[in-house]
């Protein structure tokens, strides 16, 4: 009988990264070149997540699921927002570096949401892996998809902005409905974008 005994529920901010136009990449690259490109993407995301105190939950083909937990009173929402601001400021360097390496364009969208999350080792007696479950996980995935549709780098829930202690400049954008409930959405402004008017 399998028991999930390594699980913990806490408030956290979930961030989901999703490479755009991945089907085109798979059609134009062989398996080895595709793995190289994804490896560069994974390391890029990992560096920024760990740099702000977060944790990479898992790599999922063309996506990455990350978690900023509220351990020791950490400003998990503020950490996630600060990371998004840094990513925006360094986006030009990211794309220029990939061109210099001869890599394909690796544009990605990000969604972030905050709330109660269950995280830890999930699976069976034979195979377990670290994972995270909860409304914020599903919402973060939906927001990354919506960011692609709207052609913006990322979208963040109002709950994440409200939970942050850090003073990270944000601007409210058009919201959307999730599970028949209205959700206020924001974007983090990097220094190159300036402050909202």
Residue 194 covered by a domain: no
Q: Tell me 171's DSSP state.
A: E
Residue 14 covered by a domain: yes
Residue 25 covered by a domain: yes
Q: Residue 104: what are its φ and ψ, rounded to 5°?
A: -70, 165
- Comparing 170 with 23, the larger pLDDT belongs to 170
User: Which span out of 3-7, 95-99, 143-147 was modeled with the highest average pLDDT?
Assistant: 143-147
Residue 195 covered by a domain: no
pLDDT in tens, 16-51: 999 998 988 888 888 999 999 999 999 999 999 999
Residue 24 covered by a domain: yes
Assessment of whether the complete model's pTM goes beyond 0.85: yes
pLDDT in tens, 38-87: 999 999 999 999 999 999 999 999 999 999 999 888 899 999 999 999 99
Residue 193 covered by a domain: no
Q: Residue 194: its pLDDT value, please?
A: 34
Does position 114 have pLDDT exceeding 50, yes or no? yes
For position 163, which CATH number holds? 3.30.70.1230
- Comparing 197 with 114, the larger pLDDT belongs to 114
Does position 180 have pLDDT exceeding 80, yes or no? yes
Q: Tell me 72's DSSP state.
A: G
Residue 2 covered by a domain: no
Q: Which range of residues forms the domain containing residue 35? A: 7-188
Does position 127 have pLDDT exceeding 50, yes or no? yes
Q: How many residues does the chain have?
A: 197
Does position 193 have pLDDT exceeding 80, yes or no? no
Question: Which residues, listed in sequence order, are joined to residue 116 by a DSSP beta bridge?
Answer: 11
Domain count, the chain: 1
């Amino acid at each position: 009988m399998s028991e999930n005994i390594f699980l913990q529920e806490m408030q956290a901010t979930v961030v989901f990264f999703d490479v755009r136009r991945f089907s085109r990449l798979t059609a134009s690259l062989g398996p080895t070149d595709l793995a190289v490109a994804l490896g560069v993407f994974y390391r890029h995301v990992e560096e920024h997540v760990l740099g702000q105190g977060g944790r990479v939950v898992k790599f999922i083909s063309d996506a990455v699921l990350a978690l900023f937990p509220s351990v020791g009173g950490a400003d998990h929402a503020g950490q996630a927002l600060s990371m998004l601001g840094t990513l925006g400021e360094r986006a030009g360097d990211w794309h220029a570096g990939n061109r210099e390496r001869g890599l394909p364009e690796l544009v990605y969208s990000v969604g972030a949401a905050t709330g109660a999350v269950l995280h830890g080792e999930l699976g069976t007696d034979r195979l377990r892996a670290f994972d995270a479950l909860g409304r914020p996980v599903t919402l973060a995935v939906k927001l990354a998809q919506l960011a692609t549709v709207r052609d913006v780098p990322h979208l963040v829930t109002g709950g994440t902005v409200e939970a942050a202690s850090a003073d990270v400049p944000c601007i409210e954008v058009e919201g959307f409905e999730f599970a028949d409930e209205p959700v206020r959405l924001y974007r983090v402004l990097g220094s190159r974008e300036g402050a909202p008017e």
